[in-house]
């Protein structure tokens, strides 16, 4: 009986590992390939932000918790504790995926919510983002992309509410 149970357990291990062998958090962050980290700046006054990834593609970022994935490794929900003028608040984000890309994300920050919907260009990166923020619709186009030698964007211009800014990022890859 022990031998039989051991064989069942050994057969189950590869299937369990296969189910969680690939996460799509790199795609969530508008990149592809064996990305180790993304360092972003120019993100609406937030300063520099660093996101790291495991070799399996799972995102690791300070303050990120409550990650819920579907059976294919696509992130469905995340939570983040953020500091604001009124103190600390929990921000919950839910994601909707379409053809391997995040089509929209809904962000609930306690006293309000907003939904961001993305359109993509021929290279598969966002061409624009429209945001419904408590009844106000804001359209944000992304232009003037520059790419690294692996095809991931490292610079783009963003126009929001009449203000243009440049977003840049450095990407480190696993070898």
Tens of each residue's pLDDT in the chain, 175 residues? 444 333 333 333 333 333 445 799 999 999 999 999 999 987 655 678 899 999 999 998 888 889 999 999 999 999 988 776 667 788 999 999 998 999 999 999 877 888 999 999 988 889 999 998 767 788 999 999 999 999 999 999 998 878 899 999 999 999 8
Q: Which residues pair with 172 in a beta bridge?
A: 37
pLDDT at 29: 92
pLDDT at 136: 79
pLDDT at 76: 96
Phi-psi category of residue 41: left, alpha or beta, with phi > 0 → left and psi -120 to 50 → alpha: beta
pLDDT at 43: 61
CA distance 89 to 16: 35
For residue 30, what is the DSSP state? Answer: T
CA distance 104 to 121: 15
pLDDT at 98: 93
């Amino acid at each position: 009986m022990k031998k039989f149970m051991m064989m069942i357990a050994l057969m189950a291990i590869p299937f369990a590992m296969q189910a969680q062998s690939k996460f799509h958090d790199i795609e969530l962050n508008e990149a592809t390939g064996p990305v180790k980290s993304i360092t972003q700046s120019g993100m609406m006054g937030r300063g520099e932000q660093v996101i790291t990834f495991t070799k399996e593609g799972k995102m690791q970022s300070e303050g990120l918790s409550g990650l819920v994935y579907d059976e294919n490794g696509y992130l469905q929900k995340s939570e983040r504790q953020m500091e604001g003028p009124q103190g600390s608040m929990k921000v919950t984000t839910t994601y909707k995926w379409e053809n391997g890309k995040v089509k929209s994300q809904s962000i609930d920050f306690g006293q309000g919510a907003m939904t961001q919907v993305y359109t993509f260009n021929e290279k598969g990166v966002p061409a624009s983002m429209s945001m419904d923020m408590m009844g106000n619709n804001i359209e944000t186009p992304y232009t003037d992309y520059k790419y690294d030698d692996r095809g991931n964007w490292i610079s783009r211009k963003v126009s929001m509410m009449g203000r243009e800014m440049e977003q840049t990022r450095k990407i480190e890859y696993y070898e």
